[in-house]
Chain A
């Protein structure tokens, strides 16, 4: 059972990391406009003019 000594902390740390990421996303307003986010992802604005389709 010695494996628990590092597996349990790793599991908890990963979970906490996920929670922190979620809280950060919430705080930075990523859940304010759930409809718009999908469209922004496929917009080509970040590419230079000649690379756009």
Chain B
């Protein structure tokens, strides 16, 4: 049986006779890497060119179609020292990139407009404004209009469009007063110009757009960067399946190219990549990523298996099925649909502020108009003053208040290994008042480790390690890792039972307790580690038992203790009672529940919500996905099942739980800064609005006040960086 890689799914054809592929590359950090990759690939015959993007760690390779096979490029990169992973850019990805470019273009136009209009305005403020000869002033006003109107029309489009959308949807967002302010400022200025009055707001309107576009661009760039990173990570996880073709050939195929009805091979020690039923073969499957249950389950032909489970002992042929036909997946999907529908519609801080702000401002402006009219000011001056109120209250600072903090805080979290899916997740994280942990894969590491190292003689461990090298079983890997074994013994593997070899002339065996007949030695170990899988090493005359379990993450206890100081911590697990009880005891958590089905987890979260709590759910399994969706806010480790990742508001990387504690700390601080910023904007308005209502505001004051408040708010947002972290 031959095996080859099928990458045709990833190959694009940008032009006739040209093939191209996008790759995520590990380990590119500097100029030398760029040169090494671009030169190295360029030397390959048939390659038209390679282009490294250092910002998002990707390479685009183009070659003459048919001149070489796609896998050759991967091999070449591997030989250069840069393991690469192909991926397909999603449509949503290019839409985001387009949007970022558009904002940058708008910002360029607004900056050009602001510079040139300011040039004219400063000369007016310097004296020409009050020149008895109005010709120069009028000329400058007309020139300003010539620059400002087209610039604002172009650069303001993102705001105008969003405002129109929100009006159609019936919910006013911040872009409505922004658009209104800009349009009215320009309209008033044109009116002043036509009627030969002094005072115009061209520079204020364009500058406002520039500030807001800068904020929006930062926001967009942050979101795209975390998105790129998430795509890179999923590409590196390289989900492939070994597909069996009709002529018995095995081809390693990207998971996206596997169709229902295909036959897929799962070898022992590998993760099963698809949902399906077993067609042929017997094995044991570790379903901890799916159900949270750590004890392996036996499977035989006809049994359903799920993507993400670990095949332990025997090779399986699996018939791929559509998601939703398996009983467990059915259950999870059903719950998921319900949970997503019932997801509480969280109203973002900025939108809540906008709802409060918009009517107040517009009513104030209206009242100002009528008050001046009643005082006999005539309709034109009254209108001018009313519009000035709208301009000065145009929520420049308010528009920046929340996004600026989000960008800075999301950047700080990103550096600590936490990827936020949305900016509002930050606000919800800060609001949460209880934490619900899943155990398996979340509090514990996603792979098993040797638990009783201290009880085993080093010589025995070393021997077991050398024997274990002959096996592909995941439990054997844990022993190899603990022993640091490198030189394998000649040994024979008996699938599903263990390995047998010879050491110093006598036979030695490593395998299941029953196979090496070590039940007597295993009993005390099983009592000490109720959640462990046991493996025994049979030596002449005696046996050594190894307990292998999914150990807690190294800093789990510290993180749980930190979270428990301000929040109620709880463990909800699908695993057996003794295993959960042990973990809870080690962590000092008193509230826990074991053996839960996905529906039970949701029920518990509902009960918490009904008691007025806002639970943060942290989980990784397929069985956690509905609970992650039902929770107020949720986090998943990067090793989580795809469905779970898709439901979580944030992902954390690495073997430590520390990013979760960091997330709570930084989001709480960010939330405080957001509220502070909103207050700064409110105070600014409290001072500026009365002045505007009384008719004291000149264009110069408006320009200074608007940019001043924006700068203060932005500087305050920078404090969300959180440079001093309590742990190393």
- B105 contacts which chain A residues (CB < 8 A)? 23, 26
Q: Mark A24-50, 1 if CB is under 8 A from B, else 0.
A: 001000011111101110110100000
Q: In whole angstroms, how far apart are the Cα atoms of A27 and B109 in the complex? A: 14
B112 near A35 (CB under 8 angstroms)? no
B53 near A32 (CB under 8 angstroms)? yes
Q: In whole angstroms, how far apart are the Cα atoms of A22 and B53 in the complex? A: 20
Given contacts A11-B116, A18-B112, A19-B108, contact A45 B35 (CB under 8 A): yes
A43 near B31 (CB under 8 angstroms)? yes
B139: Cβ under 8 A from any A Cβ: yes
Q: What's the minimum C-beta distance from B49 to chain A, rounded to whole angstroms?
A: 13
- B167 contacts which chain A residues (CB < 8 A)? none
Considering only CB atoms, which chain A residue lies closest to B143 in the complex?
Answer: A8
From B52, B139, B143, B147, give the contact of A36 (CB < 8 A).
Answer: B52
B55 near A33 (CB under 8 angstroms)? yes
A4 near B53 (CB under 8 angstroms)? no
Q: What's the minimum C-beta distance from B58 to chain A, rounded to whole angstroms?
A: 9
Q: Mark B167-194, 1 if CB is under 8 A from A, else 0.
A: 0000000000000000000000000000
From A15, A34, A38, A39, give the contact of B115 (CB < 8 A).
Answer: A15
Q: What's the minimum C-beta distance from B431 to chain A, rounded to whole angstroms?
A: 35
Q: What's the minimum C-beta distance from B390 to chain A, rounded to whole angstroms?
A: 29
Q: What's the minimum C-beta distance from A45 to chain B, rounded to whole angstroms?
A: 7
Q: What's the minimum C-beta distance from A40 to chain B, rounded to whole angstroms?
A: 7
Q: Mark B308-326, 1 if CB is under 8 A from A, else 0.
A: 0000000000000000000
Interface size on B, residues (CB 8 A): 23
Interface centre among B34, B56, B119 (most CB of A within 10 A): B34
Given contacts A39-B31, A43-B35, contact A33 B116 (CB under 8 A): no
- B35 contacts which chain A residues (CB < 8 A)? 43, 45
Considering only CB atoms, which chain B residue lies closest to A39 in the complex?
Answer: B31
Given contacts A33-B54, A35-B54, contact A26 B31 (CB under 8 A): no
Considering only CB atoms, which chain A residue lies closest to B100 in the complex?
Answer: A31
- B52 contacts which chain A residues (CB < 8 A)? 33, 36
B136: Cβ under 8 A from any A Cβ: yes
A16 near B34 (CB under 8 angstroms)? no
B13: Cβ under 8 A from any A Cβ: no
- A12 contacts which chain B residues (CB < 8 A)? 116, 143, 147
Q: In whole angstroms, how far apart are the Cα atoms of A35 and B39 in the complex? A: 19
A33 near B53 (CB under 8 angstroms)? yes
Interface centre among B30, B54, B104 (most CB of A within 10 A): B54
B54 near A36 (CB under 8 angstroms)? yes
- B53 contacts which chain A residues (CB < 8 A)? 32-33, 36
Q: What's the minimum C-beta distance from B72 to chain A, rounded to whole angstroms?
A: 24
A19 near B109 (CB under 8 angstroms)? yes
A31 near B104 (CB under 8 angstroms)? yes
Q: In whole angstroms, how far apart are the Cα atoms of A43 and B38 in the complex? A: 12
- B39 contacts which chain A residues (CB < 8 A)? 45
From A1, A16, A26, A40, give the contact of B112 (CB < 8 A).
Answer: A16
B112 near A39 (CB under 8 angstroms)? no
Q: Mark B26-66, 1 if CB is under 8 A from A, else 0.
A: 00001100110001000000000000111110000000000
B139 near A4 (CB under 8 angstroms)? yes
From A4, A15, A40, give the contact of B34 (CB < 8 A).
Answer: A40
From B54, B115, B136, give the contact of A1 (CB < 8 A).
Answer: B136
Show 14 A/B contacts (Cβ-Cβ < 8 Å), sorted by A.
Answer: A11-B116, A12-B147, A15-B115, A23-B108, A26-B104, A31-B101, A32-B53, A33-B52, A35-B54, A36-B54, A36-B55, A39-B30, A39-B31, A43-B35
Q: Which 7 A-B pairs have the closest CB atoms?
A: A39-B31, A36-B54, A35-B54, A19-B112, A33-B53, A35-B55, A22-B108
8 additional A-B residue pairs with CB within 8 Å, beyond A36-B34, A38-B31:
A8-B143, A19-B108, A22-B112, A26-B105, A33-B56, A36-B31, A36-B55, A43-B34
Binding site for B on A (CB under 8 A): 1, 4, 8, 11-12, 15-16, 18-19, 22-23, 26, 31-36, 38-40, 42-43, 45
